Chains A and B, each alone.
Chain A
Amino acid sequence: GQNIDQPTEMTATEGAIVQINCTYQTSGFNGLFWYQQHAGEAPTFLSYNVLDGLEEKGRFSSFLSRSKGYSYLLLKELQMKDSASYLCAASSFYNQGGKLIFGQGTELSVKP
């Protein structure tokens, strides 16, 4: 089957670091995406991991372990504007077609 699990909500303090975990089980797995989504808006791309290891991009880093079916998104120096839903998505490619399978999202609240 296809399954993506991530915590429903998290709270963190401005200036702190937060790690959002994601576990996945997907057939035809190709890579792991993280998107940020503010309420009522489009998801915006944050990061993509296809190989094991850490990818760093400014205040955001993402890690993937394909053997464990596990990823995390690390947000450093949290700002109030980082309050949003963070979506973990596994990319699945088969029969010449591709799709993203999304988790339910982790609602992050950043408090002063």
Chain B
Amino acid sequence: DSGVTQTPKHLITATGQRVTLRCSPRSGDLSVYWYQQSLDQGLQFLIQYYNGEERAKGNILERFSAQQFPDLHSELNLSSLELGDSALYFCASSPRTDTETQYFGPGTRLLVL
């Protein structure tokens, strides 16, 4: 158990819908990272927040957005969902923003039908 929690574990929805994935970092960690893992793409970095501020951005679609709240939990919002958005979404956390070990949550499995 890494100490990172994610909800929900599984999500099934339809194309065109919007969903919110939630992540709570390990106690004391200020950085949260979001990754997408699909079968053909491997783990892809989406976005990083540090203490409420966006710090790094990867290949995140415009239909996706994220934020980190004052209590340091983070939410990833996915809208206008397409079949290709079906994937495992992982959240990871680390104490600071420079490159230390990132600890991953159990993931949210999203299925878009």
Contact = CB atoms under 8 A, between A and B. Distances in A.
A99 B50 contact: no
A96 B101 contact: no
B80 interface: no
Interface stretch (A17-25, A41-49, A68-76): A41-49
Contact of B45 (A40, A45, A95, A100): A100
A98 B45 CA distance: 10
B42 A96 contact: no
Interface residues of B, number: 29
A104 to B, nearest CB: 4
Most buried by B among A43, A87, A95, A105: A43
B26 to A, nearest CB: 12
Q: Is the interface of B mostly helix, strand, loop or mixed?
A: strand
B2 A99 contact: no
Q: Is the interface of A mostly helix, strand, loop or mixed?
A: strand
How many chain A residues sit at the interface, stated as a range, is: 20 to 34
Contact of A41 (B33, B48, B106): B106
A98 B88 contact: no
Given A42-B2, A42-B106, A98 B101 contact: no
A105 B99 contact: no
A30 interface: yes
A42 B97 contact: no
B98 A103 contact: no
Nearest to A4: B42
A104 B45 CA distance: 13
A92 B109 CA distance: 26
B2 A101 contact: no
Nearest to B45: A99
B42 A97 contact: no
Interface of A: 30-31, 33, 35, 40-45, 48, 87, 89, 91-105
8 contacts: A30-B98, A30-B99, A44-B2, A97-B50, A98-B48, A98-B94, A98-B99, A103-B42
